[in-house]
Amino acid sequence: MAVGILTPKENRADESAKRLELRECFAAMQPLVLDLGCGNGVYLADLAEREPEKNILGIEKKAYRVRQARRRVGTRSNACVVEGDVMDVLRQLPNASVAAAYLLFSDPWPKRRHTERRLVQHEFARLLQSCFGREGAFFFASDSLSYFRYAREVFLDARWSVEEWMAPDDWPTTEFERRFTAEGLEFYRFRASF
């Protein structure tokens, strides 16, 4: 099995629709968790080790970070990294295939003229909802209060239930979270479900 590679497959019902074939990446079919913008894979690898009963799919658009993440994941059978734009990959996932998704410390694009570059937009919230089954949870964390407020509002507008989320003390952390903690920065988190 080639861990770290996902192959787009044609959907028989609609030849124009591409789907990601998850069976070619994971050893077993288990609940799927997404690490959106997984960076160098620190969080992804730790989460895969902590939760072996789940498949963890990392999505990253920067090729050098994909290589870093794949090296960090190694041969874990429940972790995989795919290179691509998060929105494009979400569109290729089967409906109702995701149990949880994490977006942790993504670029907040703090300048007002750049806010349309943020991943969290109304289309993102709608698309993510179609990826979840009957239950699902989206976890967001940022060091930017303005991005936190903006993202929270997007999910509230999309009629998600939004509540504060405090990660347990022993929960895996991202490279950015470790750096921001060392700098004494404050974090803002929420959990959204429907």
Q: Give the number of other Cβ atoms within 10 Å of residue 46's Cβ.
A: 16
Q: How far apart are CA 173 and CA 115, in angstroms?
A: 26
Q: How far apart are CA 10 and CA 80, in angstroms?
A: 21
Radius of gyration of the chain (CA): 16
Q: Could you list the active site residues?
A: 107
User: Residues near 145 by Cβ (< 8 Å), separated by ≥ 6?
Assistant: 186, 188
Q: Give the number of other Cβ atoms within 10 Å of residue 165's Cβ.
A: 15
User: Residues near 67 by Cβ (< 8 Å), separated by ≥ 6?
Assistant: none
